[in-house]
Amino acid sequence: KKVQISSSTAADASHVFVVFGASGDLARKKIYPTLWALYRDSLMPKGTQIFGYARSKMTVSQLREKCVGTVKAKEGEEELLEQFWAANHYVAGSYDTQGDFERLNQDMVAVEKGIANRLFYLALPPSVFKPVTSMLKAACMSPSGWTRVIVEKPFGKDSASSADLSEHLQKLFTEEQLYRIDHYLGKEMVQNLISLRFGNMIFGPTWNRDSIASVTITFKEPFGTQGRGGYFDEFGIIRDVMQNHLLQILCLAAMEKPVTTSPDDIRNEKVKVLKAIPSLSLSSCVLGQYSGDPDSDDPDARLGYLEDPTVPEGSSCPTFAAAVLKINNERWDGVPFILKCGKALNERK
């Protein structure tokens, strides 16, 4: 299938996609496999160059080796995969040194022709969003085409840090240049929720408190932190999964039909749902932290959360959370929405 990339994109324009945090878990599991799928299906502008940027010193070959389990070619696609990796580049540098970003800019200029369009994807912890975006503005803005910045969740650590980050980004970029995203919403079932709900007449009279006793939204991972405990411990399972991924799904499942399918109209309906949810009390929550199973055949499963060497000693960070939310509106009054999420559980779900 083909998609229209942009009606205003010049035929001689070049495109550069930069992945910040290219050596990280998110890039390996999600971003590079997605970029490969777009490249394979000819859904990228022709000649797009991909740059990975991270603090780790590595080559494109080492990056490819790291992604060998996630970026795969089916039979007959091997040559296309070679072409994909040939379009990749890697730059090692810090996140707060302008000289490193100027070097990245020089490398991008070397592969660009004509109008240069640049897209920067921040697959990074929020602690470095501010220095990275400041360096981008100072050294890496496109001189001739558009510049777009994609900011991954978690968008701050609490209300204060989220507002501070928003204020910082608004000083650097226009709203049209900024894309705040939650990658979980890219899952096919999540994308189909609106069509499922509002495209089926059977759900019109039944999607409410009269026909639904409760709603459970579950996120399970069968593995632990796998060496990422230092990052995870800063946030915990609630900030990492519940307040973004699961709340977004709750909003899609509970909201009223938007006037149109435009992002603004969908957002407005989501906000109405969130405003109708009372603040959560501790009595409506269950928190937990996984421990090791000494009898397991899997060496990873034998390690508890506190046995991850990157986790601070004695940490009380939750790796499991369950919460019951109520929505005080006419459609859902009295229906509990139960959110559950956790790591090192019995299945992937």
Q: Tell me the backbone φ, ψ of residue 40, rounded to 5 degrees.
A: -60, -40
Catalytic residue among 89, 168, 183, 245: 245
* Residue 302 three-state SS: coil
Contact of 237 with 318, CB cutoff 8 Å: yes
Gap between the Cα atoms of 249 and 255, Å rounded: 10
Task: Name the token pair of 2.
Answer: 């083909």
Cβ atoms within 10 Å, residue 187: 12
Q: What are phi and psi of 151, to 5 degrees?
A: -105, 120
Q: Are 152 and 181 in contact (CB under 8 A)?
A: yes
15 in active site: no
| Helix orientation angle between 159-172 and 129-139, rounded to the nearest 10 degrees | 0
The one-letter amino acid at 267 = R
Q: d(Cα 65, Cα 85) in Å, to the nearest integer?
A: 11
Q: Find tokens 């980004």 and name the residue.
A: 169
Catalytic residues: 245
